[in-house]
Structure 1
């Protein structure tokens, strides 16, 4: 199916697009890869088994549906029909007709699209005069022209720069940046903006949000204790890696096996902290061996999803029901991680904070902070040598040295963070656990190996995580480049070329443009796994630069915009919503990197957080206004403003956040202390920087918030709101001051009633659709 497309008998049927989704959803549970659940010894996922002679009949006779048992059974009476009449997933009449058409056309079954090596496809021809900027547009326009659909025109410059800024750095453009772009008549003005944003230090922060969701980064260990753990230097590593455009293959190797490199550095050891990002337990009643099995399974699920885009975790208890992963594959993959030093039970860690091997890492700014202090200490030590042992001058210098050394020690402690790293030990025995039962020792012992249908590693030694990492980013692996490119596409369009970012198997969605996805995957590898290059390639395409304006005719033929006749519009992620409010208010602190911080949070949220009992203490000063990527991530008690806008707990890999639209979101934007404080500071900016006349002030605020002039109707509504609030608060100065007391930023010295009234205007603007939406 493609946008409601119906396949008829005279139309070419494509297995991946038209047949696989039917078989995988309706048939493979009983006639698929899982031998333990297989009925009638029939595998419809195996082309050879489906067509073999079964004693005078064949389930599928290519080219002859009349003699195919499958066709007879799908049209049979209830007592013989397939799927059985009591099965919850029944074939529709359309699906039956498609299966018949497929068999009539020869029942061709190429290998699954994701398991074939990607290749660079010829660029399709398109009509002359079409606005194609690179090969991406040719693939997209070819499909549109085949269906007689025209692409949207380009977005206006204001919208385009805001879109680009949200996508690449997760922040809105400043007034100066917007004005510069609007007045830049150069032919390469837009490309210059792409380059500027890719070079921004905030690019790494935006990319880190994507990556930290995938690898389930958090500041706590999860489970019911959910104690704090120090690992924020890993987040800094991720930010720096994206900012420095570290080749993505190297980025992968350093995380999976940074400790196994010939000469591991502090950076690669920090990167190896990836292997320690899973949940851990210090609860005295747990069985250590059981939890070691849990940790191993978690690593298989995560690495399988992050790099292979596969649900390998489904093979923990039985062979995968839909894809070629076996239980043996699952535990062989787990064996790669059997050399990681860890404990099933971290006894006492909730009091000591000792969660296994760690490394003290100085903050990047520490050398600069120590430089002048060390110079002064060197000078004093030289001076000390010139004085006699008993002189008063010597004693004075010695006291000064002692004070500075104490100051230096404090400075080092304040700017050094501990982070979990991977330490290698002799690999523990790994065996298949029948039905996933950690107490069952009857399963065969396995050694590290990749899933069998994807090939074999054949090193001269026991395969290691380094061998695994190098295979993952090799051209022998058909999955990784496709998976990452699909996620980059989602970042720039709100949806991947295949919308299932965490499953490229038979249960995933067939790509809307498979040849484009393949070509982009090859381009990614050929570029040296260059993430910035790929994002620039996408950003400079005409397809990306289209307007997101919906058209009635598209709603009928392509309601989900799979054909890309327009750009997408969608709500910003939770972190970027708060970043937006802080940016517009002038409160945002743009320092890159550092410890996790705690924004305001409702009191009492941690009442049920035990082992030990904890009280949430919001940060003060600049740390209160850091970007959302630095927010303390409490797995079991996620910050409510993050949760309201669908941020994940990060107990498991999250490749795509859902986007809900509920009243709770509007209430957060209106009443969360961070947003109230941002609103009153935004109002204070308006009172000090904008024209005094109310209509001009309202227009100024809209321009600042959404990057365009306000409409006359909007101005009238906002001015009426400001006046109504001033009338309501007149004589109630104490109520106005109570509103202005929210947050720690100074309220200013002006009329509290006027400031409170315009704070209400700012709160209304924060709830505008454009303020929370990327267009």
Structure 2
């Protein structure tokens, strides 16, 4: 990770700055006038400079960073905070991760100050900023070469190019374009038959009509939802385990994954899609199946990482609410209100008042995430029971009725024992006796863990022991209340309650009041999706553009705030946002309009003059060549080998094999593949366990499943090449491809077939010559291994894993 990229800054703001403010500033900041040990921790420069004993943080080197040493309490002479108890392990792990990624830190300030270089942005200033002003439809500009422009998108793009004395690139070759289109829309390569049919339609109906027909077919394909649903799962930080210290699995998370895929296939309007995820439990439903779908949608709020080993229940709830606020505002608005948890936002117009107004909304919400107490974790989160009439698949076993009664009796006995022991210990304490004799820590832990395990078993079945259909999600809590204003975000320092509400920088009068008897999530969803909200449509339009062009019109797709990038084509972005809303918030319509543009059809040909004028291609003088993501690389290998199973698997590996247990134990189960990739299904169905990803996803820059990620990084590192050379999955797909082309009549035909499958093109003369020489050089006995080696070489090429 680049030290100061958007994701790194987001990690600092959500995970590190609150810790520094809460635990460190009182002894190490200019604001308090204290610099114990000569150390100040309220700026990047001072933190890195350190104090009397040396630098507190050395970017990229946690072992040399005294801050980590101090908070870990590994040095008896250097302990912070200077009390008996050190910070929670999850916090220490976050600090270590932050330093390892280069210690990204936006706190650049003038000498002698404690805040950023500029004061926090006021609401009035914020409303003048481009992102907080409602998009306005602008007439496309007049251009000098109108025949090039196929739609209004092209007019905006060519206008910018002409202003910089640049020209667009020529159209991409048909095979190149079709391969790009297929990977972008469905995440799979076109078959040779699809390429031949596309070329034939172009000759008969014309290229434009052939492209329209192909686009419409791809948008109607069920593979579209798998591809575009995965983009949203990145944003939704989808994962099937809690992460952090305990890392307990989420066996019901797959239901949300499937909901998202179906929603994109059904082209559920984006405003409805958001409303279902934030407040589906509060929407009317026509039958049990629809009720179950809406409850599953709220899994969006339940999927986040959780410190299930947190000792303080108040802290756990506060962190849960904070994570939900961060996810929703960053995903939908590309702004994080969560940065205002312990201080007014340093860069954007969000105050602590705004934060705690939203905290009341989510604090009045009950989150079901389906874990129970075990020796590995202290926090339980009940599963959400779905209506039986929905017919949702169930993968956990039931319990015999007599065993249910036995468990209930054991639970009642444990609760009675706990009450009796507490009473006896209290009497002993009052009479000068030893309370430990009646209620020791060992007794408390035994009862706590045993009770939790029994409750966990009973929560999964009905009164007769039949297994219940369960999910992750939310409902309104039993108590609806405003959240207290917590000084510096400290749960031990609650102040006056803050009336529930929404960030004041975006004022929508008709939605200003919240009902006293509901959390306010439904009203919040309506505020987010109101046509007058200036961010929601813009942010999604930009996400769609990024997924088609590799970079957003706003490059910082998750940050539309003051510290983010400005749009390269502001009028085009507004045009797309306005069209998106006017088109019924249809993602498919938006995708269609973009891919039918001439801008999208450009080749990726390099132009030295254009590159000199615009090296980052922000003006879109060519289509950007880019490496495919991990899923497309893996799925592409399965497709060209002919082994891809396009059906949706029932449930997930986590639901069927791992269940609800610590992820640390899965390596002990011989039924679970070592690298979690024992499947021929699409990659979207692979297990996504925090800190334990399948090899191919981990190596090729899969989204960090604990963070909102609208823009994955792309790296080029040696382990990727080693995986392509030695990975069992790659070798198996090479063998499959070899089997597929082995029946061709001669080596020349085998080479041509392999090239069409892998690259959607014929080999040139030199490639054909070299391929024939390699394949045709073996004996009959050695031909199969040679052909497999040739196929693996093709799968390992840069051309295979790149889209032109």
SS at match of 1:771: coil
Asked if the contact 2:649/2:681 (under 8 Å) is kept, the reply is no
Q: 1:517 to 1:213 in 2, by over 3 A?
A: same
CA distance in structure 2 between the partners assigned to 1:258 and 1:579 by the alignment: 32
Q: 1:243 to 1:90 in 2, by over 3 A?
A: closer
Deviation sequence 1:339-382 (CA, Å, 0-9, x none) = 22248995239699974232358899989xxxxxxxxxxxxxxx
- 1:174 and 2:191 are equivalent in the alignment: yes
User: Offset of 1:486 from its aligned partner?
Assistant: 0.3
CA distance in structure 1 between the partners assigned to 2:317 and 2:256 by the alignment: 23
Q: What is the correspondence of 1:192-231 to structure 2 with a 5 Å cutoff?
A: 192-229=213-250, 230-231=252-253
Aligned to 1:584, which of 634, 640, 664? 640
Aligned to 1:332, which of 331, 348, 357? 357
Q: How many residues align?
A: 603
Deviation sequence 1:181-208 (CA, Å, 0-9, x none) = 0111213111000100000000000011
- 1:256 and 2:285 are equivalent in the alignment: no
Greater radius of gyration (CA): 1
Partner of 2:606: 550
SS at match of 2:782: helix
- 1:711 and 2:764 are equivalent in the alignment: yes
User: Offset of 1:123 from its aligned partner?
Assistant: 1.3
- 1:659 and 2:684 are equivalent in the alignment: no
SS at match of 2:274: helix
Aligned to 1:487, which of 543, 566, 579? 543
Q: 1:145 to 1:545 in 2, by over 3 A?
A: same
Aligned to 2:513, which of 450, 453, 459? 459
Q: 1:662 to 1:719 in 2, by over 3 A?
A: farther
Asked if the contact 2:115/2:346 (under 8 Å) is kept, the reply is no
- 1:309 and 2:334 are equivalent in the alignment: yes
Q: 1:160 to 1:325 in 2, by over 3 A?
A: same
Partner of 2:493: 440
Deviation sequence 1:379-430 (CA, Å, 0-9, x none) = xxxxxxxxxxxxxxxxxxxxxxxxxxxxxx9xxx999963212232223552
SS at match of 1:190: helix
- 1:769 and 2:795 are equivalent in the alignment: no
Aligned to 1:468, which of 514, 524, 531? 524
Which deviates more, 113-122 or 415-424?
415-424
CA distance in structure 1 between the partners assigned to 2:386 and 2:793 by the alignment: 46
Deviation sequence 1:20-47 (CA, Å, 0-9, x none) = xxxxxxxxxxxxxxxx9999xxxxxxxx
SS at match of 1:341: strand
Partner of 1:615: 669
- 1:191 and 2:212 are equivalent in the alignment: yes
Asked if the contact 2:360/2:483 (under 8 Å) is kept, the reply is yes
Which deviates more, 268-277 or 331-340?
331-340
CA distance in structure 2 between the partners assigned to 1:415 and 1:686 by the alignment: 48
Asked if the contact 1:281/1:346 (under 8 Å) is kept, the reply is no
Asked if the contact 1:341/1:356 (under 8 Å) is kept, the reply is no
Partner of 2:584: 528
Aligned to 1:702, which of 730, 736, 755? 755
Aligned to 1:274, which of 300, 313, 325? 300
Asked if the contact 1:224/1:636 (under 8 Å) is kept, the reply is no
User: Offset of 1:213 from its aligned partner?
Assistant: 0.7
Partner of 2:474: 422
Asked if the contact 1:487/1:501 (under 8 Å) is kept, the reply is yes
Asked if the contact 1:258/1:271 (under 8 Å) is kept, the reply is yes
CA distance in structure 2 between the partners assigned to 1:88 and 1:429 by the alignment: 31
User: Offset of 1:694 from its aligned partner?
Assistant: 2.2
SS at match of 1:759: helix
User: Offset of 1:282 from its aligned partner?
Assistant: 3.7
User: Offset of 1:469 from its aligned partner?
Assistant: 0.2
CA distance in structure 2 between the partners assigned to 1:318 and 1:716 by the alignment: 67
Q: Unaligned stretches of 5+ in structure 1?
A: 1-35, 40-81, 92-107, 368-408, 599-606, 728-750
User: Offset of 1:583 from its aligned partner?
Assistant: 0.5
Asked if the contact 2:755/2:763 (under 8 Å) is kept, the reply is yes
SS at match of 2:148: coil
CA distance in structure 2 between the partners assigned to 1:352 and 1:437 by the alignment: 21
Deviation sequence 1:523-561 (CA, Å, 0-9, x none) = 111111011111111011111111111211111011111
SS at match of 2:799: helix
Asked if the contact 1:686/1:701 (under 8 Å) is kept, the reply is yes
- 1:755 and 2:784 are equivalent in the alignment: yes
Asked if the contact 2:127/2:133 (under 8 Å) is kept, the reply is no
SS at match of 2:565: coil
Q: 1:558 to 1:265 in 2, by over 3 A?
A: same
Q: 1:512 to 1:616 in 2, by over 3 A?
A: farther
SS at match of 1:122: coil
User: Offset of 1:611 from its aligned partner?
Assistant: 6.6
Asked if the contact 1:548/1:569 (under 8 Å) is kept, the reply is yes
User: Offset of 1:615 from its aligned partner?
Assistant: 3.5
Aligned to 1:143, which of 144, 160, 163? 160
Partner of 1:518: 574
- 1:561 and 2:561 are equivalent in the alignment: no
SS at match of 1:625: coil
Partner of 1:100: none
SS at match of 1:758: helix
CA distance in structure 2 between the partners assigned to 1:165 and 1:333 by the alignment: 41
Q: 1:255 to 1:432 in 2, by over 3 A?
A: same
SS at match of 1:496: coil
CA distance in structure 2 between the partners assigned to 1:349 and 1:121 by the alignment: 61
Give the structure-2-normalised TM-score. 0.70
User: Offset of 1:670 from its aligned partner?
Assistant: 2.2
Partner of 1:676: 731
User: Offset of 1:224 from its aligned partner?
Assistant: 2.0
- 1:320 and 2:345 are equivalent in the alignment: yes
Q: Unaligned stretches of 5+ in structure 2?
A: 1-28, 33-107, 118-124, 394-460, 655-660
SS at match of 1:576: helix
Q: What is the correspondence of 1:713-732 to structure 2 with a 5 Å cutoff?
A: 713-722=766-775, 726=778
Deviation sequence 1:235-282 (CA, Å, 0-9, x none) = 111111111111111111111000011347121111112121112344
Asked if the contact 2:127/2:506 (under 8 Å) is kept, the reply is no
CA distance in structure 2 between the partners assigned to 1:364 and 1:358 by the alignment: 14
Give the structure-1-normalised TM-score. 0.72
Partner of 2:741: 686
Deviation sequence 1:700-745 (CA, Å, 0-9, x none) = 2112111101122223333444467x58xxxxxxxxxxxxxxxxxx
Deviation sequence 1:316-341 (CA, Å, 0-9, x none) = 22111111111111121222212222
CA distance in structure 2 between the partners assigned to 1:88 and 1:766 by the alignment: 53
Asked if the contact 2:235/2:709 (under 8 Å) is kept, the reply is yes
CA distance in structure 1 between the partners assigned to 2:474 and 2:649 by the alignment: 22
CA distance in structure 1 between the partners assigned to 2:325 and 2:267 by the alignment: 27
